[in-house]
């Protein structure tokens, strides 16, 4: 199983992000992320066994961190437009603290993850063109849970399936 831990936008926020994706897709092209797959990755774990999955559930259940909000107010890209994303000018301290704590617990538990520095983003397009701008209408995303996802290949493309949800305080 290919696993990652992330944040799932609530429906209204998901729709607002999807509108921004559609606007950028019209300008930049590329392969859009499906609305159902829109999310923010906190830690990418990759292939994991059923035993690791069980340990992850316990690890997540023990998390006792406060809720916070993210203001998505800017676009950006990685690798010259290979990935076009929506992110924030100011990372909320609660988001940084959550990602740091999660990664620290994974390390202590000896569960492998991609250690690339955390850059909060929601991928909108793949292989678009470089972009950097502030949004006319920032999107406020109230975050109240962490989600363990499985990344699955299906005949209709990749699907990020939520497996487990841990509510924040």
Residues that bind ligand 2AM (CB under 6 A): 4, 41, 44, 83, 114, 123, 151
How many CB atoms are located within 10 Å of the residue 136 CB?
8
* 40 neighbors 96 (Cβ within 8 angstroms): no
3-state secondary structure of 38: coil
Query: Which is closer to ligand 2AM, CB of 75 or CB of 123?
Result: 123
Nearest-approach distance from CB 79 to ligand 2AM, in angstroms: 10
What would the DSSP string read from start to end of 25-43? Answer: HHHH-SEEPPGGG--EEEE
Q: What is the token pair recorded at 75?
A: 């676009």
Question: Minimum Å distance from CB 85 to ligand 2AM?
Answer: 7
In terms of CB distance, is 25 or 136 closer to ligand 2AM?
25
- Do residues 32 and 86 touch, judged by C-beta distance below 8 A? no
Query: Which residues are designated catalytic?
Result: 39, 121
Strand-pairing partners, residue 74, are: 87, 134
Residue 11 Cβ, how far from ligand 2AM at the closest point, in Å?
A: 19
């Amino acid at each position: 199983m290919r696993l990652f831990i992330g944040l799932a936008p609530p429906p209204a926020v998901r729709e607002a992000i999807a509108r921004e994706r559609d606007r950028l897709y019209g300008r930049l092209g590329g392969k859009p992320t499906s609305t159902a797959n829109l999310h923010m990755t906190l830690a990418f774990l990759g292939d994991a066994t059923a035993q690791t999955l069980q340990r992850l559930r316990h690890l997540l259940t023990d998390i006792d961190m406060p809720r916070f909000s993210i203001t998505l107010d800017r676009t950006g890209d990685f690798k010259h437009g290979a990935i076009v994303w929506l992110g924030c000018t100011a990372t909320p301290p609660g988001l940084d603290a959550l990602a740091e704590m999660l990664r620290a617990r994974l390390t202590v538990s000896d569960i492998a993850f991609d250690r690339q520095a955390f850059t909060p983003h929601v991928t909108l397009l793949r292989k678009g063109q470089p972009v950097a701008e502030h949004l006319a209408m920032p999107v406020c995303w109230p975050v109240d849970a962490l989600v363990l996802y499985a990344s699955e290949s299906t005949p209709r493309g990749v699907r990020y399936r939520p497996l487990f949800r841990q509510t924040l305080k």
